[in-house]
Amino acid sequence: MDGEVPWPHSGAMESFENRFENVVRAEFDPKTTYLNTAGTGLLPARALAAMGDAAVSAAQGQPLDMFADVEASRSVFARLVGVPARRVAAGASVATFSGLVAASLPAGAEVLTAEGDFSSLVNPFHMRGDLKVRGVPLERIAESVGPDTALVAVSSVQSADGRIAVLTALRDAARAHGARTLIDVSQSSGWLPQAAGEFDFVTGVAFKWLLCPRGVTFLVVPEDLGEAAGLTPLFAGWASGERPWDSCYGPVAELAHSARRFDESPALFSYAGARHSLALIEELGVDAVHAHDTALADRFRAGLASLGHAPVPAPGSAIVSVPGLGRRQGELGRAGIQVSDRAGNLRAAFHVYNTPADVDRLLDVLAD
C-alpha cells in the first residue's frame, strides 16, 4: 500500500501507544513481520530472562522455587478471566483437560460441538466411544442445545478463521436445558475480555495470545471443584495433594482443597517464564490490547477490500482468514512475513507487537 501511515494513526491507537509503547518496545524485537500469534505468540524479554535464570540456577545446583512460579501464574490467569485462583488448575495441554471433562460424562451423554473446531478440544469426546457427539455450524450452536444435551464444548474464537462464538446465547441456552459448558479460550485469552465464571469449565493454552512458553495451560472448574459434575482428578499425583511434600509415596491421602487437585505435574521452566508473560498482559490491560489488536485487524480487512479480497466474516476478531490465499504463505515467508495457511485460507493474527506498518507491508506483498 502507498502512503504508509506511521504508528499511531488514530485516537484509539494513540491511547494505547501513550500508555504502553515503552513497555511493548522493551519486551519485543521481532526480526520478521510476525503475524502468526494464532499459531504461537512471541515471548517477551522478561519471560526469556526468567527462564534463563531458572536454568542457570538449576545447572549450578541451586534451583529456584519454580512451584512459586506456578502459583503466581495461576493467580494472574485467574485475575485475567475473573475467577478466584482456587478454581484454576494448571497443566500442559487442552487435550488433557478436555479429556478430564469427557471422563466425567455418563455413557450415552450428548456432547454438542461446533463443526471444524480444534481437535484438542473435541477429539477426547470422540475417543470415549460411548458418547453421542454432535457437531453443528458455529452460528447454530446455541439454538442446537436441546433437552438431551449434557455438555456444550466450543472454542470462544475459532482457530481456523477467527470467528467469535456468541457465548451469551450459548450460556443461556445451556442453562435453560440443564447442560454444562466447556469453553476453550486458547484463541481469545489475552486480547478478548473473558468472563470465565459464567461457564462450568474453561480451558486454554497460554503460548498464543498470553505470550507464555509452551507447556502452560489452565482449566477453570466450578466453585464446587466439579463435584456435582462428577469431575474426578484421574491423573492426580503428589503435586495435587493438599500438602505435596507429604504426598510423595503411596496414594495421596488428602487432595488439594482447590482446583490444584486437577493439576498436571507442571513444566516448571515454562511456568518460570509464564508468570512474567501473564503479568505483562495484566500490566497492558486486556481492554487496551483488544482495542489495539482489533484496530489492526480492521485495517487489514479494509485493505483486503481495496484489493478485491473478502475474508471469512469474523467481525470484532483479531484473526483474519482469507479464502484462497493460503497458497501464498511460502511466498510471504520468503518476504519476511509470518502468517499461517489453514485449510487453504491465509490466516493473519494481530497482537501487541504489531503496528500499522506490519499490516501495510502484508497488503503490499499481497497486491503484487
Residue type, 319: I
In 3D space, the residue among 188, 192, 202, 191 whose CA is nearest the CA of residue 152 turns out to be: 202
Which domains occur in the chain, in start order? 11-46+285-367 (3.90.1150.10), 66-282 (3.40.640.10)
pLDDT for residue 17 = 63
Query: Which residues make Cβ contacts (< 8 Å) with residue 175, sequence separation at least 6?
Result: none
- Confirm if 29 and 263 have CB atoms less than 8 A apart: no
What pTM does this model have?
0.93
Q: In angstroms, what is the C-alpha Rg of the chain?
A: 21
Q: Is 223 helix (H, G, I), strand (E, B) or coil?
A: coil
d(CA 203, CA 104): 16
How many C-alpha atoms does 27 have within 13 Å on its Cβ side? 25
Q: Is 336 helix (H, G, I), strand (E, B) or coil?
A: coil
C-alpha cell at 47: 519471560
Intervals of the chain under pLDDT 70: 1-20
- Confirm if 175 and 124 have CB atoms less than 8 A apart: no
d(CA 309, CA 175): 40
C-alpha cell at 96: 488433557
| DSSP codes joined into one string, 276-329 | HHHHHHHHH-HHHHHHHHHHHHHHHHHHHHHHT--PPP-TT-SEEEETT-GGGH
d(CA 31, CA 201): 38
Q: Model confidence over 205-245: pLDDT tens digits?
A: 999 999 999 999 999 999 999 999 999 999 999 999 999 99
Query: Which residues make Cβ contacts (< 8 Å) with residue 212, sequence separation at least 6?
Result: 41, 43, 47, 73, 206, 270, 273, 274, 277, 278
In 3D space, the residue among 205, 97, 226, 224 whose CA is nearest the CA of residue 156 turns out to be: 205
pLDDT for residue 70 = 97
Cell 512475513 -> residue:
337
Provide the b/e sequence for 224-251 (b: ≥16 CB within 10 Å): ebbeebebebeebeebbbeebeebeeee
pLDDT for residue 23 = 83
Cell 479429556 -> residue:
99
Pairing of strands 132-136, 110-114: parallel
Q: Model confidence over 249-297: pLDDT tens digits?
A: 999 999 999 999 999 989 999 999 999 999 999 999 999 999 999 999 9
Q: Model confidence over 138-150: pLDDT tens digits?
A: 999 999 999 999 9
In 3D space, the residue among 149, 220, 151, 235 whose CA is nearest the CA of residue 185 turns out to be: 220
